[in-house]
């Protein structure tokens, strides 16, 4: 059993399971804040899946996508918090 097989059959299922559990919180979440936090965690675990997948396929170009995804996640969190606070002030 090579390293790639171990990553594909053990690590990737663990990450997919954790992604699924975060998605349950995204659906359940009592408030909007919980959904935003769950969305941030989905993207953060997605970066980990991309890095493991780049090891499996031996393609290092996928790491660029991971960088862009991290940037978009931070931008989304900042924008959501800004507009949620602004909406509260207008009420």
Q: Does 6 bind another protein (CB under 8 A)?
A: yes
Rounded CA separation 67/80 (Å): 20
Instruction: Take residue 54 and report the two structure tokens written for it.
Output: 């780049």
Among 19, 57, 72, 90, binds another protein (CB under 8 A): 19
Among 5, 9, 24, 57, binds another protein (CB under 8 A): 24
Q: Does 57 bind another protein (CB under 8 A)?
A: no
Q: Does 74 bind another protein (CB under 8 A)?
A: yes
- For 18, residues 6+ apart whose C-beta sits below 8 A from its C-beta are 45
Q: How many residues bind another protein (CB under 8 A)?
A: 48
């Amino acid at each position: 059993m090579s390293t790639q097989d171990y990553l594909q059959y053990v690590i990737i299922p663990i990450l997919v399971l954790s992604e699924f559990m975060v998605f349950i919180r995204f659906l359940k979440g009592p408030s909007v804040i919980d959904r935003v936090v769950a969305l941030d965690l989905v993207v953060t675990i997605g970066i980990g899946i991309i890095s493991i997948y780049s090891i499996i396929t031996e393609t290092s170009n996928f790491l660029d996508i991971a960088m862009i995804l991290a940037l978009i996640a931070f931008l989304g969190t900042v924008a959501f918090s800004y507009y949620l606070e602004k909406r509260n002030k207008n009420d």
